[in-house]
Structure 1
Amino acid sequence: MNKVLHLLSSVNTHSSTSREIGGLLVEKLKLAQPAASFIQRDLTVHAPPHISPEFLFSLGTPEAEVLAASREYLTELKDADLLVIEAAMYNFTIPSTLKAWFDHIVRAGHTFQMTANGPEGLLKNTKAILVLGSGWIYSEGPAKARDHQEPYLRTILGYIGITDVETIRIEGTALGEELKQSALQRARARVAEVVETYDVRT
Structure 2
Amino acid sequence: MTKTLLHIDASARLAGSTTRDLTGRIAEKLGGTVIRRDLTNALPHIDETWVNANFTPADQRSDAQNAALALSDILIAEIKEADVLVIGVPVYNFGVPAALKAWVDLIARAGVTFAYTENGPKGLLEGKRAVIALASGGTEIGSDIDFASGYLRHIMGFIGITDVQIIAADRVMADADKALDKANAGIEALAA
TM-score by length of 1: 0.87
CA distance in 1, matches of 2:42, 2:79: 16
Corresponding residue to 1:182 among 147, 163, 178: 178
Deviations 1:61-82 (A, max 9, x none): 2861111110100110111111
Aligned twin of 1:161: 160
Aligned twin of 1:33: none
CA distance in 2, matches of 1:16, 1:146: 22
Aligned twin of 1:130: 132
Question: Residues 8-157 of structure 1: matches in 2 within 5 Å?
Answer: 8-30=9-31, 36-44=32-40, 46-59=41-54, 60=56, 61=61, 64-139=66-141, 144-157=143-156
CA distance in 1, matches of 2:62, 2:188: 42
TM-score by length of 2: 0.91
Percent identity between matched residues is 39
Distance verdict in 2 for CA 1:182–1:53, change over 3 Å: same
1:19 Cα deviation after fit: 1.0
Distance verdict in 2 for CA 1:188–1:53, change over 3 Å: same
Partner secondary structure for residue 184 of structure 2:
helix
**1:3 maps to amino acid:** T
Structure 2 residues without counterparts, runs of 5 or longer: none
Structure 1 residues without counterparts, runs of 5 or longer: 31-35
**2:157 maps to amino acid:** G
Q: Is the 8 A contact 2:172 2:179 kept in 1?
A: yes
Partner secondary structure for residue 174 of structure 1:
coil
1:172 aligns with 2:174: no
1:139 Cα deviation after fit: 3.0
CA distance in 2, matches of 1:154, 1:41: 19
**2:159 maps to amino acid:** I
CA distance in 2, matches of 1:121, 1:139: 25
**1:50 maps to amino acid:** H
**2:14 maps to amino acid:** T
Partner secondary structure for residue 146 of structure 1:
coil
CA distance in 2, matches of 1:76, 1:101: 12
Runs ≥4 residues deviating over 6 A: none
Q: Is the 8 A contact 2:167 2:186 kept in 1?
A: yes
Q: Is the 8 A contact 2:139 2:145 kept in 1?
A: no
Deviations 1:27-71 (A, max 9, x none): 1222xxxxx211011001x22111011101111228611111101
User: How many residue pairs were aligned?
Assistant: 184
**1:149 maps to amino acid:** A
**1:106 maps to amino acid:** A
Quote the RMSD (CA, aligned, Å).
1.4
Q: Is the 8 A contact 2:114 2:159 kept in 1?
A: yes
